[in-house]
Structure 1
Amino acid sequence: MPYLSRVDDYLHATPLTGATGQQVGPFTLFRSTTIWPYYARPVPGSDATIEPADIEKLRARCEELGLPVSFEWVVDTCPSLGPAAAAAGLEVHEYPLLVLEQSDFKPVSTALDCRILPASLPELRTARAVASVGFGTPGTAVGEGGPEARDAEVAKTTDEAAAALLERAERGVSITAAAFGDQGMLASGVHQPVGDTTEIVGVATLPAMRRQGLAAAVTSRLAEHAFASGVDLILLSAQSDAVAAVYERVGFHRIGSVGSAEPPSSE
């Protein structure tokens, strides 16, 4: 598939904006230098066949370092990791992987104010709160969780988390967009550029405000910013086929799947 190698290389490079990497068998284990944990990934282009023993070696190293056991990868470039992780007792998930080139971009407009946010703590705190409320109720259906839930979540953001958000925004490794209505910020999302490639992550709408095209509008605004900044390939992973359909409105198309694996929640 076109772009798979480039996407895999990007996904291996982007953690280094907030982590250091060390080799553990066929994996790079990313050790966070910020407040959020990272994960391990198979080394791109290695063509290694992952075995359950490789998973156990990584698990042992994580225990030594006090790190959570977590994997992320492109399924199409490392198909052996999913079965090996499942055999080692981890929960494995796969999600649609989509890309967008500028020639396929279909801008989506909205009557609401949709803009790139400055490196400003109040707005970055609110954008994170919108994402937290939105991802607390997965999917695309209208549900509970509106401006009041957003405002309550803002108060839960620690000063340490806020400082980390601001630092990444100031470095330009995390660009946030948001959509605003009469009740304030209603949807938000981020893109994370590395060279001429970026990934759109964390696009979320307050559940009570869904089905108004806000996620597509935020995604479109992020894509506009990325292309204007010299990016020529944008990628993202979607929670489901239904969510992927939102991004397809902007011109994204599926090229494969991404995988994640972690211990069962009972562990």
Structure 2
Amino acid sequence: MWVEESLSQQLRRIEQINTKVAAQFSDVIAVGPFQAQIDPSCDMTWLNYAVPVAELGKKAEVAEVVVELREVFTERDRTLRFEFTESLWPTLPEVLEEAGLRLEVRHPMMLCKLATFQPHQASAVQVKQLTAADDTKTLAAFLAVRNQGFNQDFADEPPTDTEIAELREQIQTGKTCCALASLDGIPAGVGVTMPMSGICELVGVATIPALRRRGVAATLCSFLVKDHFQRGGDLVWLSAGDAIAQATYERLGFHLVDSRLNYIDQLRMKVGS
């Protein structure tokens, strides 16, 4: 007899799949009940972090492992960070805070199923799913919009050949599904899903500042969510960046289920300051 999956089971499945997906882009190092995921070529804090992957054990034991993890990250010139779902690891925040880490951000964690999905299409927005066969101009446009949308320091610099080649490889291998939205023919927004085993995270949603509040993000996200369900997926999840983003996702059928916590090492930050 089929039994519907509980929310707790869904959250555990999401976290397990998310860890496997992130490992495709990182050097993975097992340290006690944690997995360190280190980007070998980029020291951006949000690309380098540790996740809990097994039962934590006693508080003192976890504290010792955190010291080991700090050494792992320091040896690789990275700042120790943790990302995890709050309800699944309720004892972890206290241990991390006592070890010198602080809560960096608490993101609303949202979930969408096919039964709750509400498609959206702004009339002036067109969305294209990228393929490995797309020309360099198209892939470069995706990267340029992403950089401008997230207001990167290098946003005014054109994407490099290496960045374009890496994007093409990720699309070709199926690690990511990328979409580029245009507003009246002008590249305006980007978004990404990273599918595995019926689950995908919706990430990297960005719109060029001058073209916001015109339905670009909602149409783009709707396109990616619909694509995932049409491919047989059953869950889409995300971490909302702010209240405006959360409201947009709610209109698409996402609902709040938990919080994603990010903890960052204060000791490393003080040394580097």
TM over 0.5: yes
Select which of 58, 62, 66 maps to 2:69.
Answer: 58
Query: Over residues 184-204 of structure 1, what are the superposed CA-to-partner deviations in whole Å (9 max), with x where a residue is unaligned?
Result: 211110000012111110111
Deviation at 1:226, TM superposition (A): 0.8
Matched residue SS, 1:108: coil
> Does residue 1:8 correspond to 2:20, yes or no?
no
Between the aligned partners of 1:191 and 1:7, the Cα distance in structure 2 is 13
2:35 to 8, 28, 34: 28
1: CA distance between counterparts of 2:184 and 2:216? Answer: 14
TM superposition shift of 1:23: 1.3
Structure 1 unaligned segments of length 5 or more: list them: 138-148
Partner residue of 2:50?
40
Q: Does 1:102 align with 2:117?
A: no
* In structure 2, C-alpha distance between the alignment counterparts of 1:187 and 1:171, rounded to whole Å: 23
Percent identity reads 28
Q: Secondary structure at the match of 1:76?
A: helix
Distance in 1 between residues matched to 2:227 and 2:156, nearest whole Å: 26
TM-score by length of 1: 0.85
Q: What's 2:264 paired with? A: 262
Establish whether residue 84 from structure 1 lines up as the match of residue 95 from structure 2.
yes
Q: Which residue of 2 aligns with 1:136?
A: 151
Which secondary structure does the structure 2 equivalent of 1:104 belong to? coil
Q: Distance in 1 between the 2:58 and 2:187 partners? A: 46
Structure 2, unaligned stretches of length 5 or more? 1-6
1:209-248 to 2 correspondences below 5 Å = 209-248=211-250
Return the alpha-carbon distance in structure 2 between the equivalents of residues 38 and 107 of structure 1.
34
Aligned length: 253
1:94 CA displacement: 1.1
Moved more, 235-244 or 118-127: 118-127
Deviates more, 1:122-131 or 1:236-245: 122-131
Specify whether residues 221 and 69 from structure 1 end up closer, same or farther in structure 2 by C-alpha distance, changes over 3 A only: same
Deviations 1:86-118 (A, max 9, x none): 333333221011111111111001212122122
Residue in structure 2 matched with residue 145 of structure 1 by the alignment: none
Bigger Rg over Cα: 2
